């Protein structure tokens, strides 16, 4: 294996007995495919591998916020099914309020469609995409990495771990420390069982249960996605939480189809290092799920851009600093808000419905506001209250 110098090889990777790529990306979710797109556009030879056969579905609410859209390296509107302008917050299945934004807050897609589309864009950019292909026997050395990919021997200068919360790359590289775990359970409900006109462009968030999380209803093309999430210890209770949520919409829990669970990896700020000289972690593999919202799309696309930039520059070890610069401030605010929401959901509900606060929430979702500290006017007192509650918690 040749030593990494920051330059990209131009040889035909298919002419070698042992296939060599500049970068091996393991996992073709949003973070992996976006990383491959950036790298391929920069002239790198990239192998993007995923063990699943595409198109395949993944447990995920499927919402892409406006701020996340600004980070996507291609137009994803061909796979968008709904555009959300309305936000509804509910407290323990009883009290609720609704707000509207003139500009889109979130676009809704399905991971089955989004991931296949992004992988296709990576291939169009020049990456080699192999689905239905397992990556095994990963070895990381001072001069590069080697692995068995779909039964073939592959070497690469850099390995990108984009294989999610349960992936092999972080473990192989010893980079899996400092990550807390949540869990979620979700399923789908046909519109015939819901008021489609009411919810077609509305994202509903239910706070107060489960412990350490929330419930949601997100609109999709021919159905709504219903789910609940919380701390890992809530796992045994999620079915009952989901059933209670379904009944709040007058839906028989047995009518929920395509039920599935998944883990939510949340990185503690400053507690983990998502890179070494030969390995870079992006998205869920790096624990980059927002602790408050449980969303990882924005973090996936930001980490993809920063990881690719560090690799192209020839120094993957600068990636953690760039990641901290772009994500840590918002992550600290999310952890603080999560502490307040876990302990005092009613206070947070009251604060969220206060005058001016939705303007801040909408600005954060759209990407017009980078941090809650940018709030002005009537929104500042209730947001300061949440900050005080968080400190006491």
Ordered by start, the domain boundaries in the chain are: 13-56+112-178+267-329, 63-109+180-265, 331-392
pLDDT of residue 6: 43
Is 90 exceeded by the pLDDT of residue 321?
yes
Nearest in space to 244 (alpha carbons), one of 213, 274, 210, 289: 210
Is the confidence at residue 244, as pLDDT, over 90? yes
**Topology annotation, domain 13-56+112-178+267-329:** FAD/NAD(P)-binding domain (3.50.50)
Alpha-carbon distance of 123 to 120, in angstroms, equals 5
Checking if the pLDDT of 7 tops 60, the result is no
What share of the chain has pLDDT > 90, as a percent? 83
Whole-structure pTM value: 0.93
Contact 58, 296 (CB under 8 A): no
Q: Are 278 and 1 in contact (CB under 8 A)?
A: no
Rounded to whole angstroms, the Cα distance separating 393 from 391 reads 5
Band (pLDDT 50/70/90 cuts) for residue 8 is very low
271-293: b (≥16 Cβ within 10 Å) or e: ebbbbbebbbbbbbbbbbbbbbb
- Measured over the CA atoms of residue 62, residue 72, residue 43 and residue 113, the dihedral's sign is positive
pLDDT in tens, 27-55: 999 999 999 999 999 999 999 999 999 99
If one looks up domain 63-109+180-265 in CATH, what number appears? 3.30.9.100
Indicate if the pLDDT at residue 82 is higher than 50: yes
Whole-number pLDDT of residue 165: 85
Mean pLDDT for the stretch of residues 278-293? 95
SS3 content of the chain, % helix, strand, coil (to 5): 40, 25, 35
Q: What token pair was written down for 16?
A: 């070698």
Pull the structure tokens for residue 141: 């050395």
Q: In the predicted model, what is the mean pLDDT of residues 206-220?
A: 92
Which structure tokens are listed for 265? 């990896």
Can you tell me the mean pLDDT for 252-279? 92
Per DSSP, the three-state class of 276 is coil
Confidence of residue 10 (pLDDT cuts 50, 70, 90): very low
Count other C-beta atoms under 10 Å from residue 162's C-beta: 32
Q: Taking residues 147-156, what's their average pLDDT?
A: 97
Question: Helix axis angle, 319-343 relative to 380-392, nearest 10°?
Answer: 90
Q: What is the predicted pLDDT for the residue at 209?
A: 86
pLDDT at residue 304, as a whole number: 98
pLDDT exceeds cutoff 90 at 140: yes
pLDDT for 337 equals: 93
User: In this predicted model, what pLDDT tens digit does every residue of 347-362 receive, in sequence order?
Assistant: 999 999 999 999 999 9
Closest CA to 69 of 30, 24, 121, 14: 30
* Signed CA dihedral, 19, 114, 229, 237: sign only: negative
Tell me the C-alpha distance between 360 and 383, whole Å: 10
What pLDDT is stored for residue 91 in this prediction? 95
Q: Is the pLDDT of residue 9 over 60?
A: no
């Amino acid at each position: 294996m040749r030593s990494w110098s920051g330059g990209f090889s131009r040889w035909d990777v298919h002419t070698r007995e042992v296939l060599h790529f500049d970068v091996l990306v393991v996992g073709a979710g949003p973070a992996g495919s976006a990383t491959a797109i950036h790298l391929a556009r920069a002239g790198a030879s990239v192998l993007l591998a995923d063990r699943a056969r595409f198109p395949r579905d993944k447990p995920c609410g499927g919402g892409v916020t406006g701020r996340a859209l600004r980070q996507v390296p291609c137009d994803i509107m061909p796979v968008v099914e709904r555009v959300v302008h309305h936000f509804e917050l509910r407290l323990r299945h009883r009290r609720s309020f609704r707000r509207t934004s003139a500009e889109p807050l979130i676009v809704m897609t399905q991971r089955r469609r989004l991931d296949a589309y992004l992988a296709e864009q990576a291939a169009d950019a020049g990456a080699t995409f192999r689905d239905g292909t397992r990556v095994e026997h990963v070895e990381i050395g001072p001069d590069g990495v080697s692995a068995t990919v779909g039964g073939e021997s592959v070497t690469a200068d850099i390995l990108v771990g984009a294989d999610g919360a349960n992936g092999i790359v972080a473990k192989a590289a010893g980079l899996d420390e400092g990550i807390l775990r949540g869990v979620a359970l979700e399923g789908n409900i046909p519109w015939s069982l819901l008021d489609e006109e009411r919810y077609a462009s509305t994202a509903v968030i239910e706070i107060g249960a489960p412990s350490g999380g929330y419930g949601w209803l997100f609109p999709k093309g021919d159905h709504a996605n219903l789910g609940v999430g919380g701390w890992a210890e809530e796992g045994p209770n999620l079915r009952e939480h989901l059933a209670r949520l379904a009944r709040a919409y007058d839906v028989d829990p047995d009518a929920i189809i395509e039920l599935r669970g998944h883990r939510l990896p949340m990185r503690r700020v400053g507690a983990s290092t998502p890179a070494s000289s030969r390995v870079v972690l992006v998205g869920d593999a790096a624990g980059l799920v927002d602790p408050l919202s449980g969303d990882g799309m924005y973090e996936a696309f930001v980490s993809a851009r920063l990881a690719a930039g560090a690799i192209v520059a020839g120094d993957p070890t600068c990636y953690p600093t760039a990641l901290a610069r772009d994500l840590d401030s918002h992550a600290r605010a999310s952890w603080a808000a999560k502490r307040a929401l876990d302990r005092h959901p009613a206070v947070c509900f009251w604060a969220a419905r206060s005058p001016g606060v939705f303007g801040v929430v909408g600005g954060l979702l759209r990407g017009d506001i980078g941090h809650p500290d940018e709030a002005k006017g009537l929104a500042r007192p209730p947001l300061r209250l949440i900050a005080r509650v968080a400190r006491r918690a």
